[in-house]
Amino acid sequence: MAHPKRRHSKARRDKRRTHDKLNRPDFGVCPQCKRPKLPHRVCPYCGYYKGRQVIEIKPKKKKQKR
């Protein structure tokens, strides 16, 4: 296995690492409820996809304080 003869600079190291970052997913807007959603997926809030309701979303129950 090869061993480096000299140490690489910080700039050279950072140039190599520029492509190692994570990208945020692109969000679209649901035409029904106007909330953000991932493209090509059913809206998790209203259940619509391409202008028609695909799944029925049940409203969440609120927690009662004791």
Which residues, in sequence order, are CB contacts of 38 under 8 Å at separation 6+? 25, 27, 28
Give the model's pLDDT for residue 3: 87
**CA–CA separation, 26 and 61 (whole Å):** 30
pTM above 0.75, yes or no: no
- pLDDT for 5-44, tens place per residue? 999 999 999 999 999 999 988 999 999 999 999 999 999 9
